[in-house]
Amino acid sequence: MTRFALTVVRHGETRFNKEKIIQGQGVDEPLSETGFKQAAAAGIFLNNVKFTHVFSSDLTRTRQTVHGILEKSKVCKDMTVKYDSRLRERKYGVAEGRALSELRAMAKAAGEECPVFTPPGGETLDQVKMRGKDFFDILCQLILQEAGENEQFSRGAPSNCLETSLAEIFPLGKNCPSESNSDSSAPGLVASVLVVSHGAYMKSLFNYFLTDLKCSLPTSLNKSEFMSVSPNTGISLFIINFEKGQEGKPTVQCVCMYLQDHLSGMTETC
């Protein structure tokens, strides 16, 4: 079995988030003062986690967020970030720069509801899902290739260290129907990946995990909560498993969704 951890974080708050204005891809708004504080708080929360790969959307709000996270890290401060346009927010076409209420009015006029409605020039939900699937497939191929190339070095302390750093702040092996994490014979993690992206995009990617890959959920989490939109800098953790010799889909285990522990007392800590 080959296992890796995937930590997904939504970007910090922007002024348009607070004002409920659609940003999508065409409105490249920077983080607000609160957003920078949220990113720093997420960085402090994750500062002992050893990431082996870091990916981010190439839009300003995600770039600033991933920078804010890494600059607080004790172990990954100098990590190279791979900026990927496949991690961008859903494209909303003519609705970008307009109030969310206007998007809902456009949907109603078309006899549809958000988020199923696609504004002119925007992406459909299926298009966003395929973009997420493409990124995830390429990521899995990368991790499996590296694990194969480094197989003789990937056992023991390095991989155990990856898992230990996550277990300090995440409920690994708890509240989950899968027993793989609590099995002492399970191999250590070969990689720990950080991804910083956007609310609607993450919702679509997680929908792919749930509906196509049959992602297992913690007992404390129901499907409606799983399919909600992440708050700004909400942190989600998944363990991705590939059985030895398995050519098909991986199994995905959700450890936690949209964790916000780092935001409690944010003003005092940041």
Mean pLDDT score, 146-175: 74
CB 11 within 8 A of CB 31: yes
Annotated binding site: 10-17, 61, 89-92
89 given a catalytic annotation? yes
Distance CA 110, CA 95 (A): 14
Three-class secondary structure of residue 225 per DSSP: helix
Give the number of other Cβ atoms within 10 Å of residue 19's Cβ. Answer: 11
Terminal CA-to-CA distance of the chain, rounded, Å? 40
Annotated binding site for substrate: 10-17, 61, 89-92
Name the band, by pLDDT with cuts 50, 70 and 90, for residue 268. Answer: very low
Instruction: Express each pLDDT in 176-195 by its tens digit.
Output: 444 344 444 567 899 999 99
More confident residue, 176 or 25: 25
Q: Name which of 265, 262, 233 is nearest 41 in CA terms.
A: 262
Residue 157 has pLDDT above 60, yes or no: no
Residue 95 has pLDDT above 50, yes or no: yes
More confident residue, 158 or 218: 218
Mean pLDDT score, 161-177: 80
pLDDT at 185: 58
The catalytic residue among 53, 89, 123, 262 is 89
Name the band, by pLDDT with cuts 50, 70 and 90, for residue 149. Answer: confident
State what percent of residues in the chain have pLDDT above 90: 80
Domains of the chain: 2-172+189-263 (3.40.50.1240)
Q: Name which of 119, 152, 160, 158 is nearest 22 in CA terms.
A: 119
pLDDT at 1: 85
The catalytic residue among 11, 53, 198, 262 is 11
- State the helix-helix crossing angle for 60-70 and 33-45, rounded to 10 degrees: 40
53 given a catalytic annotation? no
CB 139 within 8 A of CB 193: yes
Name the band, by pLDDT with cuts 50, 70 and 90, for residue 267. Answer: low
Instruction: Express each pLDDT in 206-260 by its tens digit.
Output: 999 999 999 999 998 988 889 899 999 999 999 999 987 656 789 999 999 999 9
